[in-house]
Amino acid sequence: MRTLLTLCLALLSIVATAQGQCVLYLQQCAACHGERGRGDGPAARFLDPKPRDFRSGYFRFVSTTNGIPSDGDIWESLSAGLPGSAMLSFAHFAPMQRTMLVNTIREFRRDGLRERLSASMTDASAIEAAVLELDTPSGGVSIPTETPDTMDARARGALTFARLCSRCHGSDGRGIIDPERLTAEGALARPRDLTRGVLKGGIEDVRLWQRIRGGIPGTPMPAVSSKDLSDEGVWDLVHYVEALMPRGQQELHDPVRWSLGAVRIQGPLPTGPDDPALLAVQPLWVALAPFQSHERTVEGVAVRALHDDEHVVLRMEWADATCDVPARGGKAVAPDGIAVRLAGMSFPPVMPIAGSPLPLDRALWLAGAKPAADDPVFDALVPRFENPDSVCKSPIGPEHVGQAQWRDGVWTAFMIVRPERAGHIEAGGSMPISFAVFDGSVARGPLPATFSHWQTLRFGH
């Protein structure tokens, strides 16, 4: 009887874990990667590169010699994110949750293999054996001791780069688009612009080594074998590529979740972005992830925040070389703008899933735009601040106000938001906050160009 009970409990916990995997994946990943891991979630059509299709088998950032991702590789992509793309870091999930997600992804991969194999095989156990074989990562690319980074080493590396890499990355490292070069999924392959200094698989020496020796599976980027280049030659190349990359850019694009402090103020709320109380707050740099990785658009926003136990006051600054205001000169341009979201849950998904609304407060400012009386998304309301460049749209009410100014290539926006759906402000407590920036010069329809991870907004005492 006891054994039976233990067995039942064990079975129950397996079922619970399987559901747990699913729920977290469905909530956090499916909007992009699709419910069944096919890379076809509802948000996928807005993204380039597309979210990975876990069933197709091609994982890009792997450390193995046979191109099959190890659990560690998947864990790494999930934890660090892929900087410069829409794939953010999920390092804020507990290790157990991340392990569950890694297992879910591996299961999708195996399902994909099963599907393909069953087209030509019928015996279930033979299929399982083949799946196991095709899903067993080899050992890692071996990495010998680093050779010194000297001028001579970089000069040798430069020659190797010209010989092996420049046909795709260009002699200057900026990358050459060739319409004939496609990914395994049939999308245009875009060799990385190395002079930006942002790499999806990490900028550390060992990561570069892995990319050069292992290539990037599913893309034209080939693996360089030891027949073509000695280990020392690879180090020379690593040193040269590092010299091409500006320092510090990777950190500026780190797609992680940070903590943003809102300082508590007493007395009247600031009425503009240059209020001394706002300027006294230390700004937090929030990295923005692009919907379209190849577009040159806004890369981050510097945010200062205050609160008075009822409202959140925000000053947001971002660099944008062009000031896109539709009303100006009758030009039909899409507007620049910024959207802020506050959420009433601790780990909101990056992309909300249609049909399952979240407890969110949203505030949006768009240059020169006035909400139409019958705006379907934003209830008509009288904007508090109005100047030719600046009208606030907000779905909630007149508490949500904003204004912005563009000067010398920088937008400075000011917004006051009173959370309602997301809950109430509590000094000492916190609330997730995220940002999305609209860039008229690269706009496609009503979408922002870039979006941030959810940051933790902490309300000071």
Check if the beta carbon of residue 245 is closer than 8 Å to that of residue 237: no
Neighbours of 386 (CB within 10 A): 12
Regarding 216 and contact with ligand HEC (CB under 6 A), the answer is yes
Regarding 43 and contact with ligand HEC (CB under 6 A), the answer is yes
Regarding 394 and contact with ligand HEC (CB under 6 A), the answer is no
Q: Is the dihedral of CA 412, 420, 291, 89 positive or negative?
A: positive
Considering just the CA atoms, what is the radius of gyration of the chain in Å? 25
Q: What amino acid is encoded at 168 in this protein?
A: C
d(CA 431, CA 347): 10
The separation between the first and the last C-alpha atoms of the chain, rounded to the nearest angstrom, is 56
CB of 302 to ligand HEC, least distance (A): 23
CB of 408 to ligand HEC, least distance (A): 32
Regarding 82 and contact with ligand HEC (CB under 6 A), the answer is yes
Stretch that binds ligand HEC, among 129-137, 216-224, 306-314, 381-389 (CB under 6 A): 216-224
d(CA 93, CA 252): 22
Regarding 371 and contact with ligand HEC (CB under 6 A), the answer is no
Interacting residue with ligand HEC among 153, 212, 366, 436 (CB under 6 A): 212
d(CA 364, CA 409): 21
Regarding 60 and contact with ligand HEC (CB under 6 A), the answer is yes
Regarding 245 and contact with ligand HEC (CB under 6 A), the answer is no
Check if the beta carbon of residue 264 is closer than 8 Å to that of residue 308: yes
Interacting residue with ligand HEC among 80, 100, 158, 168 (CB under 6 A): 168
Interacting residue with ligand HEC among 21, 56, 77, 450 (CB under 6 A): 77
Regarding 219 and contact with ligand HEC (CB under 6 A), the answer is yes
Site for ligand HEC in 267-296 (CB under 6 A): 293
Regarding 165 and contact with ligand HEC (CB under 6 A), the answer is yes
Q: Is the dihedral of CA 198, 200, 205, 210 positive or negative?
A: negative
Residue whose token pair is 């694009």: 253
Interacting residue with ligand HEC among 100, 105, 281, 416 (CB under 6 A): 105
Interacting residue with ligand HEC among 59, 108, 235, 414 (CB under 6 A): 59
Interacting residue with ligand HEC among 34, 37, 51, 197 (CB under 6 A): 51
* The two structure tokens encoding residue 122: 């019928």
Interacting residue with ligand HEC among 130, 134, 143, 164 (CB under 6 A): 164
Burial of 366 (C-beta count, 10 Å sphere; 0-12/13-18/19+): buried
* The two structure tokens encoding residue 420: 């309602």
Site for ligand HEC in 336-365 (CB under 6 A): 350-351
Residue number, 190 or 362, with CB nearest to ligand HEC: 190
Regarding 37 and contact with ligand HEC (CB under 6 A), the answer is no
Regarding 100 and contact with ligand HEC (CB under 6 A), the answer is no
Stretch that binds ligand HEC, among 1-9, 80-88, 322-330, 370-378 (CB under 6 A): 80-88
Site map (CB under 6 A) of ligand HEC, residues 416-435, x = contact: --------------------
Residue whose token pair is 């050992």: 139
Q: What amino acid is encoded at 364 in this protein?
A: L
CB of 271 to ligand HEC, least distance (A): 36
> Which long-range contacts (C-beta less than 8 Å, at least 24 apart) are formed by 73-78?
73/137, 74/102, 74/105, 74/106, 75/99, 75/102, 76/202, 77/201, 78/102, 78/105
Interacting residue with ligand HEC among 101, 262, 281, 340 (CB under 6 A): 101
Tallying the residues shown for the chain, one arrives at 461
CA nearest to 48, candidates 185, 208, 165: 185
Residue number, 241 or 313, with CB nearest to ligand HEC: 241
CB of 212 to ligand HEC, least distance (A): 5
CA nearest to 64, candidates 150, 155, 168, 135: 135
CA nearest to 297, candidates 326, 241, 338: 338
Stretch that binds ligand HEC, among 46-54, 276-284, 357-365, 426-434 (CB under 6 A): 46-54
Site for ligand HEC in 180-209 (CB under 6 A): 189-192, 194, 199-201, 208
From the centroid of its chain, how far is CA 333?
Answer: 27
d(CA 324, CA 352): 28
CB of 313 to ligand HEC, least distance (A): 29
The residues that touch ligand HEC, with contacts defined as CB under 6 A, are: 28-29, 31-33, 43, 47, 49, 51-52, 59-61, 69, 74, 77-78, 82, 85-87, 90, 101, 105, 164-165, 167-169, 189-192, 194, 199-201, 208, 211-212, 216, 219-222, 224, 237, 241, 293, 350-351
